[in-house]
Amino acid sequence: MYRDYRNKDVQFFYVYKNLAHPEVNNFVPVVSIEERLLHIKRAKEMMKTDMNWICDTMKNDVKDRFGGTYNGEFIIDPDGKLLKKRFWSDPVQLRKDLVEIIGPVDKVTEVADLPTVFTPEPRKIASNVMPRPIMPPRLMPMDAKPHKSDDPFFAKLRIEANSEFYRGAKGKIFFTVYLDPIHKVHWNNLAGKVKLEIDAKEDEFEFSKTKFESLDAKVDADVDPRWMLCSAQAMNTKPFNVKLTYTICDDAETFCKEVVQEYVVNPAPNRNGGTRPGIFLNEMFVDVKKMDKNGDQKLTKDELPMGEVTMYVGHLDYDGDEVIDFAEIDRFMSMFNNGKGITETNDGG
Amino acid sequence: MKQNLISNTIRLILCGLLVIATLGTFSGRCWAAPQLGGEEFVDKFNRMFEGRDPKVGAEMFSELSAFDEKGKKLKFDKLKGKHTVIVFGCLT
């Protein structure tokens, strides 16, 4: 559409806002506009397009103005008035809209005319060496704001809790520490484990533990996330503080550094926190190839089970030929876990 | 029991929505409707969205600003004068 209508007085923009699903395509949620701009640069390289991007504010003002959709699509007239809106973008319908509003084009660009896009570049440092934990069910992210730091946020902290915690009952808090691929660094495991320390008043919170160390990595360097879990209860809605200590080296091996960074955590659900990708749908990730009943390494409509799984698996049909071959499944899996795919699923939301 | 049922239903809907939101981006084309049976599901959400803000006809650009790719402040009012297509999502 962009190719077809950009010369017909139509301007197109992608909007970068908070990320919906950390880790996918080796992107993790960032903490500053500068880091968002780095993501945009990376995205343009991956998508091989010169279409312009708008970088939303850290408060996601643009997303909020446009209804809070994660994958919405909107047409606005030259006076700034909304003409069309969709919760979920639909290229077929968008083209129909543009034909109706602007008029037809002489030559329609097809998907096959476009360059291959969105192949994540796996990190070359060891990954998939840390066992992924079984997560408590019904996790929702919290708002964790970083304090100012002289160092870049090489690692990003994600904090989630289950509904019991948010209700003020005894619940679970799950900490994930992601290394951010845009900084091109890895854990220096020879220098020690990732450490996390909670600072909260005793009469405001009850934690089963307040000092954590990550598990042994068993390799000198890797890029896997680190996970920590505790039981917790909040007696009120006041924030608590988390201090993160870790040692990283850059991939080019020009420096290693211990970094200490702190976050203030608001113990309430953060609606902009996104979710870890589809981990509750085992059929989608672990068992998808088992649907191939005749062993031809392809999934056809008659092999897909009825119901929601079919709807989801249908997204893997990248070329739209109504057949999902195993290469398409592998391509899908390559977007997770630094290209290693997902081999186990669990709850966690 | 009834509350649990309602809670589970809401959860199921939210989970479905989030999976759809996740998987659509994995098509690798950014603008991608689901295929092989997902169209009805997405149509349903688009219809639900019709009743929510912003409504068709709403002024979208006034007093709204963000940043361009270079990090310069971008006032949306400056986009007036042409038809504008805005798409969210794509990265994860």
Kindly tell me the sign of the dihedral angle through the C-alpha atoms of A30, A34, A36, A41: negative
DSSP secondary structure code for residue B59 in this structure? B
What's the pLDDT band for A111 if we cut at 50, 70, 90? confident
Q: Sort strands A73-76 and A82-86 into parallel, antiparallel or unpaired.
A: antiparallel
Residue B9 near chain A (CB below 8 Å)? no
Average of per-residue pLDDT across A283-308: 77
Listing DSSP states for B27-44 in one string gives: TSSSS----SS-HHHHHH
- Computed over its alpha carbons, how large is the radius of gyration of chain A? 22
Over residues A178-201, the mean pLDDT reads 95
Tell me: the pLDDT tens digits for B1-25?
444 444 444 444 444 444 444 444 4
Helix, strand, coil percent content, chain B, rounded in steps of 5: 45, 15, 40
Between A71 and A56, where is the model more confident?
Answer: A56
Does A82 contact B56 at a Cβ distance shorter than 8 Å? yes
Closest CA–CA distance from residue A202 to any residue of chain B (Å) = 32
Q: Which amino acid is at A63?
A: K
The CA distance from A116 to the nearest CA of chain B, in Å, is 8
Residue pair A135/A174 in contact (Cβ under 8 Å)? The answer is yes
Q: Does A70 sit within 8 Å of B55, measured CB to CB?
A: no
Separation CA A65–CA A79 (nearest Å): 16
**Binary contact (B67, A54; C-beta < 8 A):** yes
Token pair listed for A69:
């959709």
Task: Please state the ipTM of this predicted complex.
Answer: 0.81
Read off φ and ψ for residue A13, nearest 5 degrees.
-140, 135
Evaluate the CA torsion angle A33, A35, A36, A38 in order and state its sign: positive
Query: Which residue's entry shows tokens 């042994």?
Result: A216
Distance of CA A150 to the CA centre of its chain: 26
Nearest to A214 by CA among A192, A241, A185: A192
Chain A partners of B48 at a C-beta cutoff of 8 Å? 87
Is residue A334 over pLDDT 50? yes
Q: What is the pLDDT of residue A129?
A: 87
Spatial contact of A280 and A345, defined as CB atoms under 8 Å apart: yes
- Put simply, the answer to whether A301 touches B37 (Cβ < 8 Å) is yes
Contact criterion met (CB < 8 Å) for B49 and A67: yes
Distance from C-alpha of B49 to C-alpha of B88, rounded to nearest angstrom: 15
Report yes or no: B84 and A11 within 8 Å, Cβ to Cβ. Answer: yes
Burial of residue A45 (number of CB atoms within 10 Å: 0-12, 13-18, 19+): exposed
Mutate one of A37, A42, A54, A88 to test the B interface: name it (highest B CB count within 10 A).
A88
Q: Do B71 and A316 touch (CB under 8 A)?
A: no
Inter-chain touch A275–B33, beta carbons under 8 Å: no
**Rounded mean pLDDT, A305-314:** 62
Contacts 24+ apart (CB under 8 A), A289-293: A289/A326, A289/A329, A292/A326
Check CB contact of B71 with chain A, cutoff 8 Å: yes
Cβ–Cβ < 8 Å for B86, A11: no
* DSSP secondary structure letter of residue A7: T
pLDDT at B47 over 80: yes
A118 contacts in B (CB within 8 Å)? 28
As a whole number of angstroms, the distance between CA A217 and CA A177 comes to 14
Return residues 10-39 of B near A (CB < 8 Å): 11, 15-16, 18-38
Classify residue A290 by its DSSP letter. Answer: G
DSSP H helices in A177-325: 282-285, 308-313
> B23 vs A315: CB contact, 8 Å cut-off?
yes
Least confident span in A275-279, B46-50, B58-62: A275-279
What is the arithmetic mean of pLDDT over B40-68?
A: 89
Question: Which residues of chain A make contact with B32, given a CB cutoff of 8 A?
Answer: 89, 91, 315
> CA-nearest residue of chain B to A119?
B28
Most confident of A42-46, A119-123, B39-43, B58-62: B58-62
Q: What does the mean pLDDT of chain A come to?
A: 87
Out of A87, A98, A331, closest to residue B49 by CB? A87
The first and second tokens of residue A286, run together, are 């672990």
With beta carbons under 8 A apart, name residues in chain A contacting B82.
9-11, 78
Choose among A205, A8, A189, A186: nearest CA to A95: A8
Q: Phi and psi (nearest 5°) for A213?
A: -130, 145
Residue B9's φ and ψ, nearest 5 degrees, are -65, -45
Distance CA A194, CA A179 (A): 11
DSSP state of A169: S
The nearest CA of chain A is from the CA of B49 a distance in Å of 6
Task: Please tell me which residue, A129 or A133, carries the higher pLDDT value.
Answer: A129
Specify whether the CB–CB gap between B83 and A78 falls below 8 A: yes
A123 residue type, one letter: R
CB < 8 Å to B46, chain A? 86-88, 90
**Which of A130, A219, A208, A234 has its CA nearest to residue A176?**
A130
Q: Is the peptide bond before A136 cis (omega within 30 degrees of 0)?
A: no
The rounded Cα A246 to chain-centroid distance in angstroms is: 22
Whether B86 contacts chain A with CB within 8 A? yes
Nearest residue on chain A to B11, judged by CA atoms?
A138
CB contact under 8 A, B66 and A315: no
CA distance linking residue A200 with residue A99, whole number of Å: 58
Per-residue confidence (pLDDT) for residue B90, from 0 to 100:
63
